[in-house]
Every structure is written in structure tokens, then in C-alpha cells.
Amino acid sequence: MSAITIKISNHCVSFPNMFLLKQIQYHKVFCKLCHHRYCTTYVNKLFSSNNSNQFSRDAASNRHDFINNISYSTLKYCSNLAFVPRHEPCSNRHIEDLQEFVDNSKKLFVLTGAGISTESGIPDYRSEGVGLYATSTKRPVQIKEFISNASVRQSYWARNYVGWSRFSSFKPNITHITLAQWEQHGKVSHIVTQNVDTLHQKAGSINVTELHGSLHDVRCMQCQYSISRTQFHHTLSSLNPRMAAQSQDIRPDGDVELVQDDVSRFVVPCCPSCGGFLKPHVVFFGDNVPRARVEAVKEQLRQSDALLALGSSLQVYSAYRFILYAAELKLPMAAVNIGLTRADAHLSLRVPARCGHVLPLITLR
Ligand SMILES: [Zn+2]
């Protein structure tokens, strides 16, 4: 049979902004999120309205083959592609190999990086052409500068304040949602993320370790004081009523760029308990992941039977060390990442694709 491209508009009625219907067989069409089953009449209406020209050319008797021949490339999911690097379409062979990898695991350990949040509109650091390092000469603040220099802290908090409204409003995308579903179905045993955006938890995942912490939490560097970033925002707002700067710029760590005038007038409070410095509860560049957190993740790895890395080049050692540990444990490993990864030599499979394209195509069984 010749290849046929069908323009399918597969919205679930419960999620009108997302393309979620999946066809297994002619009579089996369901939503990948809510598992609502759709009747063939509904599917026929979709196909008739979206493929009227093709249907007029093709005999009705061909419809069964017609539907079963839907190319993966015609399935589309709700996503923001502005920060997704250029890439080739994913092959069906890669999808099948990933399906087999997932099928063979009963306790999947998932390691995620900035590449899975790009489809939510948050850029990553290293993606070719669209990542922070490719588009800006600005670099994330280093922990030594933050500790030693009051003007660095003032500048950091002013920028973080302006970027917070936008950063805190980002929503999980189809990759986060799919992983939460996999956890509910018992497929995923644990998620370790390098991201500080809390989108896994927003999607409903529970067993999550935020390797580099979360921007949603603020801690004192000298005592045990902590405050939620949302609550701290009210404090910053009350201390800086004239701060009117805005920015559409955003970085993976919620940072933005500001002019010096906005920065120099910005008031940063000290810790109300001890007068120390307040800092987002994230691991800044140049700092180390707490040892107890690393050991807890290794324990999760020992209880898993495979590792799947998603949206990460694994260049940073803090995450790459878990690849090395999984190799010691002889766990099978796969990755979905558009570009090469540092772990390629350890992988049994690398799918060079966008996570939001690939993951929803995998069926749990
Ligand atoms: Zn304190």
C-alpha cells in the first residue's frame, strides 16, 4: 500500500487543547490521558472533516487500512517549540525500540533534564541554536560570587523577582503528564530531575527527587529558616513598591536581564531569624549536590531495573554520575534526546527525538 498522510485532528473532548487520541485498531481509539474510549462514528467524523479530499478519492473499503497507516509524523501534541532545537522526524523503528525497552522494565528509573521543559516554554542551557549558551553571553550566577558579593545577591534577587511571575506560571507539557501517568500505572518507580521548575509535581508525579533543588523554595544560608518563593514574593513586593521592570526574557533558572538602574534600587531582605543571606533552595553553579541526596538517588537506582534519560545531554557530572552507577549495576539504559549525550557509550538505545513527540506514542501494557 502506498504511504498516505492523513491530517488527523485528534482532540479528546476532555482536553480540547491537546492532541491525545490514539488509534490502536480500527475499533479501538482512546484518549491517552483520561482513557476515554471513542466510537468509530466519532473517528469517522474527524477523518471526514479533515480528509475530505482524500476520502473522496479512496474507496470506503480502504478505510481500515487507511486508518491503520497513520504515520507517526501526523500525530501532534500541544507544545511550545520555540526552544526546541532543529531535529529530524523520529523513525518508527526508534519508537518500536523504545516501546520494547519500556515493555521490558517493571521499575523504570527516569532521569530528566532541561530538554523536557523546553516544550513548556523554558529554554535549556546547551541546545544547539536555541539554548541559553547559544543565544546569550550571560551565564548563571556562581555560588562563590553569590556568597561573597552583596551586589551580586542584589542583582540576582532583582532579576529573579522580575522573572518570577512568568517562570512560576509555566505549565507541565505532555512529557511531564505522560510520566505522571506512567507512575500511576506503576511503570515509573522514581524520577530524578535536573530541573528546578517543579513541573513534574505540577503534572502529578509524586516520587520525584529534584537533584538541583527547586526555585519554589527559599532558604537561609546560615540557619534553618525557610519560606516558600510565593510568600517571599510578597515580601519583595512590599519592600520594592516602585519596581516596575518587566521582562519577556527567561532562562532555565528563572533569571532575566535588567538594566542597572532597576538593580541598584532593589531592596533584598535578610533572614528574619538570624540576619543571614537568603537564597533559592537550588544548587548554584560551582556548588555540589548534597551527599545525602546523591545517596538517596543511588538507593532508588538499586531498586529499579532500567534507566531512561529524557531531554538531557548528561554533560553535567551531578547527573552523569547516575549513568556511571547504573552501568555498575548493569542496568539497561536508554535516552530520548535530540542531540548526542555524554552517556551514549553506555546506552542500549538513544532516540534522537523530541520527548513530547515520542513518549505519548508508547503504550503501557
Ligand atoms: Zn537565618
Closest residue by Cα to residue 307 from 99, 39, 101 = 101
Fold topology of 92-361: Rossmann fold (3.40.50)
Which residue is catalytic, options 176, 190, 200, 212? 212
90 in a labelled binding site: no
Q: Which residues of the chain have pLDDT under 50?
A: 1-8, 51-79, 130
Cα 225 to middle of ligand 1, angstroms: 5
- Is pTM, for the whole model, over 0.85? no
Distances (CA, A) of 139 to 143, 216, 317, 321: 12, 21, 18, 24
Predicted confidence at residue 140, as pLDDT, reads: 76
223 in a labelled binding site: yes
pLDDT, tens only, 226-251: 999 999 999 999 999 877 656 556 66
Query: Domain extents for the chain?
Result: 92-361
Phi-psi region of 226 (alpha: psi -120 to 50; beta: other; left: phi over 0): beta
H or E element that contains 357: helix 355-358
Cα 223 to middle of ligand 1, angstroms: 4
Cα 227 to middle of ligand 1, angstroms: 11
Q: Could you confirm whether 233 is annotated as catalytic? A: no
290 in a labelled binding site: no
Cα 281 to middle of ligand 1, angstroms: 13
131 in a labelled binding site: yes
Phi, psi of 355 (to 5 degrees): -60, -40
pLDDT, tens only, 309-325: 999 999 989 999 999 99
Predicted confidence at residue 57, as pLDDT, reads: 36
